Amino acid sequence: MMLDLNSFGKFETAWCPGCGDFGILEALKDALVKLNLEPHKIVLVSGIGQAAKLPHYLYANVFNGLHGRAIPAATGIKMANNKLEVLVTSGDGDIYGEGGNHLIHAIRRNINITVIVHNNQVYALTKGQASPTSDLGYVTKVQPQGVIDEPIHPLTMSIALGAGFVARGFAGDKEHLSLMIQEGVKHRGLAVIDVLQWCVTFNKKNNFAWYKKRIYKLGPEYDSSDKTKALEKSLEWGDRIPLGIIYKNGRPSFEEAYGLPKDKALVNEEIEPGKVSLALKEFL
């Protein structure tokens, strides 16, 4: 079946007009078309937040779970059926805040899923509180004196934890973001893609123009296999913000390390209750 953007449908959304989420949705569809992934072969997993509504806006299997818990649900799905292409799409609050512990351990586990984080540096659905990535000094109604907690550096953290694929895209550059998603999906192991995204309603500081002025794409001269350089690059934030594959390595995925068969999904494995009779003999 030849896929095109229409294969994934068009849906009415609950997003604000002009939201960065639209760019991410379009880039994702584009990547899925280019990867030739039919809707029934995909599972989109999300938590809670405006970003987490994305799976409802295209044709795919969906598991829209709990706030912060998209990664464990996605992991369980992939473990049970490695034939499915599993992508997580959720926000910075969901993945870096509420679900931070799961991200840490998912990176260690390195299962073959792709995690796309819509990072707008603000909690928008709850009307504008600080997120784990809000800049220092960022003023909100709950942080009237400005944010005093050091922001999470998601890319640095991921590289330090041993992630095999760490990239950054921008919601305003669909072509580049689509490429990041395609590379992330192709990567064997967990891929973390942090996507810079503006919020038209609640983040007046990190708006489209703010990002546009600062972002630049890493060129072919950049060596994404050098971990030390990658750590340095991942910390670049302020006047200039790099986009692209920051770090990549070939460490074994969970599937490879656990020894799961490549050709057969767990869900299709035989069930042999008769074997229990043999196991019982060991208790004599």
Partner 1 sequence: MNVDITLKIAGEAGQGLQTMGQLLAKAFSRGGWHVFANQVLQSRIRGGHNWFQIRIADSPVLAHSDATDILIALDDESVYHTRELNESSIIIFDSSLITYNPERGLILDIPFEKTAKENGGNKLMGNAVALGAVLGILEYDINILFGLLRESFQDKNPEVVQANIQTAQAGYNLARLKIESKKFPRLNKTNGVPKMLMNGSETIALGALAAGCKFISAYPMSPSTGIMTYLASKAKEFNLIVEQSEDEIASINLALGASYAGVRAMTATSGGGFALMVEGLSLSGMTETPIVIVDAQRPGPATGLPTRTAQEDLEYVIYAGGGESPRAVVAPLTIEDAFYLTAKAFNLADKYQIPVIILSDQLLADSYVTVDSFDVESLKIERHILSDEELKNIKNYKRYQITDSGISPRALPGNPYGLVVADSDEHDEEGHITEDVDWTRPEMVKKRNRKTAGLLKEMSGPIRYGPPEAKNILVGWGSSYGALKEAVDILNSEKEKVSLAHFNQVWPLPKEYFDFLDTAEFVCVAENNFRGQFAHLIAGETGKVIQNRINKFNGLPFSAVEIVREYKKLKNSL
Q: Comparing C-alpha atoms, which of 136, 252, 248 is closest to residue 193?
A: 248
Q: What is the Cβ-side half-sphere exposure of residue 14, based on CA atoms within 13 angstroms?
A: 10
Q: What is the Cβ-side half-sphere exposure of residue 130, based on CA atoms within 13 angstroms?
A: 21
Residue 141: C-alpha distances to residues 55, 122, 282 (Å): 30, 12, 64
CA dist., res. 150 & res. 132, Å (int): 8
Q: Which two tokens stand for residue 67?
A: 């706030």
Q: Comparing C-alpha atoms, which of 220, 278, 266, 210 is closest to residue 245?
A: 220
Least distance to partner 1, CB of residue 98, Å: 10
Whether 148 and 136 have beta carbons less than 8 Å apart is answered as: yes
Residue 77 binding partner 1, by CB under 8 A: yes
Q: Tell me whether residue 75 or residue 134 sits nearer to partner 1 (CB atom).
A: 75
Least distance to partner 1, CB of residue 114, Å: 15
Whether 73 and 90 have beta carbons less than 8 Å apart is answered as: no
Whether 190 and 106 have beta carbons less than 8 Å apart is answered as: yes
Determine which residue in the list 29, 50, 75, 196 makes contact with partner 1, applying CB under 8 A. Answer: 75
Q: Tell me whether residue 55 or residue 97 sits nearer to partner 1 (CB atom).
A: 55
Considering only 77-85, 130-138, 187-195, 202-210, which stretch makes contact with partner 1 by CB under 8 A?
A: 77-85
Residues 26-65 that bind partner 1 (CB under 8 A): 39-41, 43, 45, 48, 53, 55-56, 59-65
Least distance to partner 1, CB of residue 157, Å: 15
Least distance to partner 1, CB of residue 169, Å: 25
Q: Tell me whether residue 263 or residue 283 sits nearer to partner 1 (CB atom).
A: 283
CB-based burial, 61-74: b 16+ in 10 Å, e otherwise: bebbbebbbbbbbb
Residues 85-104 that bind partner 1 (CB under 8 A): 101-102, 104
Residue 73 binding partner 1, by CB under 8 A: yes
Residue 76 binding partner 1, by CB under 8 A: yes
Residues 101-140 that bind partner 1 (CB under 8 A): 101-102, 104-105
Determine which residue in the list 84, 125, 179, 193 makes contact with partner 1, applying CB under 8 A. Answer: 84
Residues facing 242 on adjacent strands: 216
Query: How long is the chain?
Result: 284
Considering only 66-74, 143-151, 198-206, 224-232, which stretch makes contact with partner 1 by CB under 8 A?
A: 66-74
Residue type, position 49, single letter: G
Determine which residue in the list 4, 150, 175, 272 makes contact with partner 1, applying CB under 8 A. Answer: 272
SS3 182: helix
Q: Which residues bind partner 1 (CB under 8 A)?
A: 14, 39-41, 43, 45, 48, 53, 55-56, 59-66, 68-69, 72-81, 83-84, 101-102, 104-105, 258, 260, 266-267, 269-277, 279-280, 283-284
